[in-house]
Structure 1
Amino acid sequence: MKLLKTLLATAIVTSAIPVMAYEAGDILVKAGVVTVMPKDNNADTSHLFPGSKLDIDNDTQLALAGIYMVTSKIGVEVLAATPFTHTAKGDGGAIDGVDIVTTKHLPPTVSVQYYPMASDSAIQPYVGLGVNHTFFFDEEDDANVGTKGLKTSWGLAYSAGVDYMIDDHWLINTALWKVDIDTEVKGGAADGLEVEIDPLVWMVACGYKF
């Protein structure tokens, strides 16, 4: 009984000690998996193949995010990942189900984040606004239409997420971005074709606060 009382008292005292979440100068590093989910109807190809459009598939990769806390409520985040691979497939018309082009891309994103909760809260939701730069490489002209590649893209990125501090250093995180990624096809029959990727990006990660 005495041992039980001691354990209970220890638990109560420990739970009463606030976890100091974020302070100015803190550095957070998060690692996990991230999925890029392009919107539907990414390009209208009806002028080339009547009744057709392009749809781009999803891809999941490893991700790394670094955050520097300017204040206890404002952070600057850099998001990076291993290269994503996407295939654009025909949808409708003569190209229905046909792989048109496959490409890899990297979409580094820099965001400013706002954390509304008190700094001693273990749960830290946040919203962010940033800039995305996406560049494409290793394009494969699957349908032999003469495509030479895709132009790089600059766009805004809107984000929201939540961190849960397990203790003073370790945390778990989930986050969602809406990213403006628009590009154009270079070369071939589809030269100048506008492609709107505009994906949702979802990340699940664990992290460490330094």
Structure 2
Amino acid sequence: MKLVSTLLATSIAVLGSSQVMAYEAGDIMVKAGVINVAPKNDNVSITGVGKVEVKDDTQLGLTGTYMITPQVGIEVLAATPFKHTVELDGNKIGTTKHLPPTVSVQYYPMDSSSAIQPYVGAGLNMTFFFDEAGAVKGDALGPLGDSFGLSVSAGVNYDIDDKFMANLAVWYIDIDSELEGSNTALGKDYDVEIDPIVVMAGVGYKF
């Protein structure tokens, strides 16, 4: 019985260890999944016109992380282009597309051999707007200026085995654009605070 108990305990330990991926310096993690960008409400109020809101959109999200140490990594967030509906007092007035690449430094507080790996991060975002279309009081929806701002993030990896993982992550991104309306019926340019909450759920692979 003692031999059986020893073999059983050893087997459990081996199986348990095979389901854990130890993070090491030089590791690369690539994750893909569904990502949603949800801008804040009341993005801008235009005097005499109304409140303009940018609605949310869901796309394919991609992240790549390079581990500098077992507990510190550099992450790049990318996605297929987001297409947002722009509404004026609840009525659609146009659409815009954007790409929000974000670079973050992440910290993993747990021991590198833990199967559950929560993390927090902070970084920089550059958002590019393009393909604006629509009308505001008969005028084409003015271009939205590109944005450069800070971001903070948090997430968790669950290591399925020594290569594959499940992931859930959230970012808050400071995106402040400018609606160019000086040469339209709007009469001037307006600051647009988008400041979205970004949520991604996906799977990943460690190289």
Pairing 1:71-150 to 2, within 5 Å after superposition: 71-91=69-89, 97-143=90-136, 144-150=138-144
- 2:24 aligns with 23
Among all aligned residue pairs of Structure 1 and Structure 2, give the percentage whose two residues are the same amino acid: 57
Moved over 6 A (4+): none
Give yes or no for contact 1:57–1:87 (8 Å, CA) kept in 2: yes
Give yes or no for contact 2:121–2:152 (8 Å, CA) kept in 1: yes
Alpha-carbon distance change, 16 to 89 in structure 1, aligned in 2, over 3 angstroms: closer
Pairing 1:63-78 to 2, within 5 Å after superposition: 63-78=61-76
Give yes or no for contact 1:146–1:189 (8 Å, CA) kept in 2: no
- Please report how far the alpha carbon of residue 208 of structure 1 lies from its aligned counterpart in structure 2 after TM superposition: 0.2
1:189 aligns with 2:195: no
- Please report how far the alpha carbon of residue 16 of structure 1 lies from its aligned counterpart in structure 2 after TM superposition: 4.2
Structure 1: which 5+ residue stretches go unaligned? 92-96
Alpha-carbon distance change, 138 to 16 in structure 1, aligned in 2, over 3 angstroms: closer
- Please report how far the alpha carbon of residue 21 of structure 1 lies from its aligned counterpart in structure 2 after TM superposition: 2.8
Distance 2:24 2:9 in 1: 29
Distance 1:13 1:146 in 2: 65
Give yes or no for contact 1:102–1:142 (8 Å, CA) kept in 2: no
Q: Secondary structure at the match of 2:135?
A: coil
- Please report how far the alpha carbon of residue 87 of structure 1 lies from its aligned counterpart in structure 2 after TM superposition: 1.4
- TM-score (norm. length: structure 2): 0.89
Give yes or no for contact 1:21–1:165 (8 Å, CA) kept in 2: no
| Deviation sequence 1:137-186 (CA, Å, 0-9, x none) | 11002333243311000010100000000111000000000000011111
- TM-score (norm. length: structure 1): 0.88
- 1:206 aligns with 203
Distance 2:128 2:11 in 1: 51
- 2:148 aligns with 154
Q: Secondary structure at the match of 2:185?
A: coil
Aligned AA for 1:57? K
Structure 2: which 5+ residue stretches go unaligned? none
Give the count of matched residue pairs.
Answer: 199
- Please report how far the alpha carbon of residue 9 of structure 1 lies from its aligned counterpart in structure 2 after TM superposition: 5.7
- Please report how far the alpha carbon of residue 48 of structure 1 lies from its aligned counterpart in structure 2 after TM superposition: 2.8
Aligned AA for 2:80? T
Give yes or no for contact 1:173–1:207 (8 Å, CA) kept in 2: yes
